[in-house]
Amino acid sequence: MAQSTHPFAGFEWLIAWRYLRAKRREGGVSVMTWISLVGIALAVFALVATLAVRSGFRYEFVQTILGANAHVTVTSSTYRDENQRKSRAIKDFDAIADNIRAVPGVVRAAPIIRGQLMASFNGRNAGVEVFGEREVDLLTLPLIATPETQYGDLTRFQHGIAIGTGVARELGVATGDRIKIISPDGVKTAFGTAPRIKSFEVVYVFGVGRYDIDRTRVYMPFAEAQSYFNREGTADEIEILVSDPDNVDDYVIPIISAAGPRALVWTWWDSSGGFLQALQTEDNVMFIILSILVLIASMNIVSGLIMLVKNKGGDVGILRTMGLTEGSIMRIFFIVGASIGVTGTLIGLIAGCLFAIYIDPVFTAVNWAMGGGVWDPSVRYLSQLPARLEVKDAAVAVSLSLVLSFVATIFPARRAARMNPVEALRYE
């Protein structure tokens, strides 16, 4: 009577290893099995690389939002000024900013002037968005004070303006050049409204790595912006940074209470949340598609093992007559199939990690091979393809591949275990 042994005994690993090493003419591992190994490796590589790029894109996109824009913006509701004209100007902006800074978790509150104008230099024009800020406040805006690329001296901000690299490229200017800022809402004359035109020296050029900021953003000294936009004694908005922007909604009510009854609040999630939700939906769809790819690669293990079981039918019959149990036979073939899945998964994981780590030279090579223009920052907002390798993403890819590989191995292993030894040896 066959005696049971403890699961995954040494002889089971030895037999499985001999089957893996056996040549095809000896009834060993088939070409289909090698194809399944390569397929799993490629599928895991694609999954790890996609998850890394997905995480990197979302991280960089959010960081540029949080580093160059307000986490919370406070504006005023409409009211009538002393001339009975509708206005949304904030009069006591310094007092309101001080009250907001006292809110726990608020790290920055700066009054700003904001307007959309046209910039001109040497016959070239560009639409720009002007932000009037004090130098001390601008220095506390992370991606403007310490951007990816910078030219000039931000400490000379009071003597000119700061512009994005996209604006500088569009106009063909460099630091030291003087550009004209043109507003259609100018001085009213007997012949109509004359546009307001004033020239400013470019003292600082910044590049934060996000197209829509670098291409449109211009910073002007706060007092100069008040005069230019006819906002003497008022501000348009109060720009706020908080210590925990991921939970920005927790700050809304305290900020409204500190800002007063006319305050209206707009958070970074209100302006960019829809885009991030679309990214999340796309990420989920891509994960499902790539998971199906891993599943297909794992299914190849089934066909490879079925061929192996057929070739080794005589060996199975002999092993059964020698006293091996069905469980031992099943575990032997399970080890064979699982080894293919584990090996393919490890190869794919290593390749995916290397891709994420060395994505810059890889992308440079791809861009060169395709003749350039593979990555359009005007469409994707970021200036380059990012990748962020996270342990959680790698663990998800590995776990998915291993589970599917192990499950796919069970069916042919059970078939081998239930093989009748008499039938297996009849034609041997």
Residue range 357-400, pLDDT digits in tens: 888 787 777 767 776 665 655 545 555 667 888 888 899 999 99
pLDDT band, very low/low/confident/very high, at 112 (cuts 50, 70, 90): very high
- The residues spanned by each domain of the chain are 10-63+275-426, 78-261
pLDDT of residue 422: 56
The amino acid at residue 51 is L
71 by DSSP, 3-state: which?
coil
pLDDT single digits (tens) 209-225: 877 888 999 999 999 99
pLDDT of residue 179: 94
Which residue's structure tokens are 């991606």?
143
pLDDT band, very low/low/confident/very high, at 341 (cuts 50, 70, 90): confident
pLDDT band, very low/low/confident/very high, at 200 (cuts 50, 70, 90): very high
Least confident of 5-9, 45-49, 208-212, 248-252: 5-9
Given a cut of 90, whether residue 410 has pLDDT beyond it is no
Phi-psi region of 84 (alpha: psi -120 to 50; beta: other; left: phi over 0): left
Given a cut of 60, whether residue 26 has pLDDT beyond it is no
CA 71 → CA 89, 92, 202, 378, distances in Å?
Answer: 20, 21, 27, 23
CA distance 412 to 259: 69
Q: What is the mean pLDDT of residues 83-91?
A: 83
pLDDT band, very low/low/confident/very high, at 105 (cuts 50, 70, 90): very high
pLDDT single digits (tens) 235-292: 999 999 999 888 888 999 999 999 988 889 999 888 887 778 887 888 888 888 888 8
Instruction: Look up residue 26 and give its DSSP letter.
Output: G
Whether residue 121 contacts residue 176, with contact meaning beta carbons closer than 8 Å, is answered with: no
Q: What is the mean pLDDT of residues 1-17?
A: 65
Which residue's structure tokens are 């994707």?
380
pLDDT single digits (tens) 130-186: 999 999 999 988 888 888 889 999 989 999 999 999 999 999 999 999 999 998 776
pLDDT of residue 415: 74
Comparing CA positions, the residue from 192, 81, 78, 206 lying closest to residue 154 is 206
pLDDT of residue 157: 93
Tell me, rounded to whole angstroms, the distance of Cα 139 from its chain centroid.
27
Residue ranges of E strands in 153-287: 161-164, 178-189, 192-207, 217-221, 237-242, 263-267
Mean pLDDT (the chain) is 82
List all residues 6 or more positions away from 355 whose beta carbon is below 8 Å from its beta carbon: 45, 48, 49, 52, 362, 387
Query: Is beta strand 192-207 parallel, antiparallel or unpaired with respect to 217-221?
Result: unpaired
